[in-house]
Amino acid sequence: MKDWSDLEEKYQDMRLADPKAAQSFKQRMTARFQTSVQALEEEGNAEKHQLAAMHQQRVLAHINQRKREAMTCYTQALTEQPPNAHHVEKCLQKLLRALHKDRAHALAHYRHLLNSGGAGGLEAAASERPRTLERLIDIDRAVNQSMTMLKRYPELSNKISQLMNDYILALRSKDDIPGSSLGMSEEAEAAILDKYRVEIERKVAEKERLRLAEKQRKEQRAAEREKLREEKLRLEAKKVDDMVKAEQDSGAFTSEESKTSKDETVVDPTKISHSDKDLAAEEYLEATLSTKTQTILPTVDDEAVQRAVEDVAAAVAHQEAEPAVQHFMSHDLGHRESSFSLRREFSHSPAHANKEGRNVYFTLSFAGIALMAAIFVGIAVAKWRTARSPHAQGFIEVDQNATAHHPVVPEEKIVPSMQINGYENPTYKYFEVKE
């Protein structure tokens, strides 16, 4: 891995300088790495086969050792004078167990080769089949020879022959494919091996079928996902097209509405100005007439009417001189500053003042009582602690007149002062040293 990292760094440096040379270097590097990996895999497989062969040799050596020991025990038990039936039975059972162990190991090794992996395992098992069949035939021949040796002794054979036959059947019944008879022929052993091979081939075919079915399911799911994705893209494209068409339609509709609204709102300014002038003249005339009728007598004055008409005509002429403004709007918008006011109510009633004074007095009284109680409790606790630890105050002189009935001698009065200065009673010191 260190070499691969170094080569990768070199490739990165070369790619910056010369991309083509870096690409060719990468191809050569990859080919060499694949060759190295293949060589390591082959070496690992060779070591694996070597370890398996070594294990096989050790197992066979151990089984052969057991068979030799059992055969020696069996022959010695038969040659004893007089032969012991119990001893012969135990030695023969030992020999039969060793032979059955050899047979079971041969079949297990053959099945392991079949299960070792695909076509390679089947080929290895096919090449190993003749040796396995020969080994099984040798084991059956050894079993038959051991039973033949027992028949040479009729008395022993009558006693333990049937027991040994049952023992052989019991041993072979433990196998996955038990033997059908005591003396297994070559055809029977070959049928067992073929049955193993057919079973493994069926399992391999079933695995291959499941693998292909799983592959087909994955491909079908991928196709379904691709179809769903295409359908989703198609729906999204259709939705986008619909949105674009809707926007275009709405734009055309709004443009038509704007045109119609403009046509409706745009009016001839001259007409508007003339209508406004007429309306203003009429209003002014009505107002003048009303004022005139309120001030003059009920009789109609032609001269006043003439003057009012002239005034209205002058006002209309003056209004025509002013420029006409179209679509004029005036808004009186204003924002005042936010203001606030604080209002506080004061109660000047005597009852309210007396109530507040009473509340303050009660509060101060309660606080003083609580403070005094806390002081008393603290003093009591301090005295109690001082009474429980008198040694913290040093030596205490005891009034011996109050505690004893005999008179106090002068020496005893001097002892407390001596103890304060470090005096120790030699009597107590003597007993302490003695202990």
Residue 352 scores a pLDDT above 70:
no
Unique residue bearing structure tokens 């004061």: 346
Please identify, among 184, 219, 234, the residue that sits at the C-terminal boundary of a domain.
Answer: 184
Answer yes or no: is pLDDT of 117 > 60: yes
pLDDT exceeds cutoff 80 at 107:
yes
Q: What is the pLDDT of residue 95?
A: 92
pLDDT on residue 119: 62
Q: For residue 177, is it within any domain?
A: yes
411 and 280 housed in the same domain? no
In a domain, 351, yes or no: no
Tell me: do 19 and 164 sit in the same domain: yes
Whether 139 is in a domain gets the answer: yes
Distances, alpha carbon 88 to alpha carbons 14, 147, 160, 268, 390, in Å: 83, 12, 9, 141, 98
**Residue that is last in its domain, among 136, 160, 184:** 184
At residue 200 the predicted structure's pLDDT band, cuts being 50, 70 and 90, is confident
- Reported as a single tens digit per residue, the pLDDT across 25-58 is 888 888 888 888 888 888 888 888 888 888 888 9
Record the tokens describing residue 255, joined without a space: 């443009």
CATH code at 180?
1.20.120.770
Claim to verify: residue 410 and residue 308 sit in the same structural domain: no
Per-residue HEC secondary structure of the chain comes to CHHHHHHHHHHHHHHHHCHHHHHHHHHHHHHHHHHHHHHHHHHHHHHHHHHHHHHHHHHHHHHHHHHHHHHHHHHHHHHCCCCCHHHHHHHHHHHHHHHHHHHHHHHHHHHHHHHCCHHHHHHHHHHHHHHHHHHHHHHHHHHHHHHHHHHCCHHHHHHHHHHHHHHHHHHHCCCCCCCCCCCCCHHHHHHHHHHHHHHHHHHHHHHHHHHHHHHHHHHHHHHHHHHHHHHHHHHHHHHHHHHHHHHHHHHHHHHHHHHHHHHHHCCCHHHHHHHHHHHHHHHHHHHHHHHHHHHCCCCCCHHHHHHHHHHHHHHHHHHHHCCCCCCCCCCCCCCCCCCCCCCCCCCCCHHHHHHHHHHHHHHHHHHHHHHHHHHHHHHHHHHHHHHHCHHHHCCCCCCHHHHCCCCCCHHHHHHHHHHHCCCCCHHHHHHHHHC
Residue 213 in any domain: the answer is no
Give the residue numbers spanning the domain of 418.
Answer: 397-435
Question: Could you read off the pLDDT of 129-166 as tens digits, one per residue?
Answer: 889 889 889 998 998 899 888 888 888 888 888 898 88
pLDDT band at 71 (very low <50, low <70, confident <90, very high): very high
**Is residue 135 in a domain?**
yes
Most confident of 99-103, 251-255, 395-399, 401-405: 99-103
Contact by Cβ (8 Å): 110, 129: yes
Encoded tokens for 21 = 């040379």
Q: Place 370 in a pLDDT band, splitting at 50, 70 and 90.
A: very high
Instruction: Say if residue 346's pLDDT is above 50.
Output: no
Position 268 scores a pLDDT of 46
d(CA 19, CA 203): 51
**Same domain membership, residue 133 and residue 11:** yes
- The reply to whether 288 and 377 lie within a common domain is no
pLDDT of residue 369: 94
pLDDT of 278 reads: 54
Give how many domains the chain has, as a whole number: 4
Are residues 403 and 383 part of one domain? Answer: no
Structural domain contains residue 243: no
Task: With respect to residue 228, please indicate whether it lies within any of the assigned structural domains.
Answer: no
> How far, in Å, are 135, 238, 257, 262, 409 from residue 247 at the CA level?
89, 14, 15, 22, 128
Compute the mean pLDDT over every residue in the chain, rounded to the nearest whole number: 75
Quote the pLDDT of residue 309: 60
Query: 93 and 50 in one domain?
Result: yes
Residues 211-224: pLDDT tens digits? 899 989 999 999 99
Query: Is the pLDDT assigned to residue 379 strictly greater than 90?
Result: yes
- Residues 434, 377, single domain; the answer is no
The answer to whether position 124 is within a domain reads yes
CA–CA dist 424, 44 (Å, integer): 92
Domain shared by 301 and 380, yes or no: no
Same domain for 389 and 410?
Answer: no
* Residue 116 or residue 293, greater confidence: 116
Angle between helices 85-115 and 186-265 in degrees, nearest 10: 40
Question: Does one domain contain both 312 and 376?
Answer: no
Provide the pLDDT confidence category of residue 280 given band limits of 50, 70 and 90.
low
Pair 313, 403 in one domain: no
- pTM value is 0.45
Both tokens assigned to 309: 């008409």
Give the pLDDT score at 312.
61
Q: Among the three residues 160, 184, 208, which one is the final residue of a domain in this structure?
A: 184
Q: Which two tokens stand for residue 32?
A: 């060499």
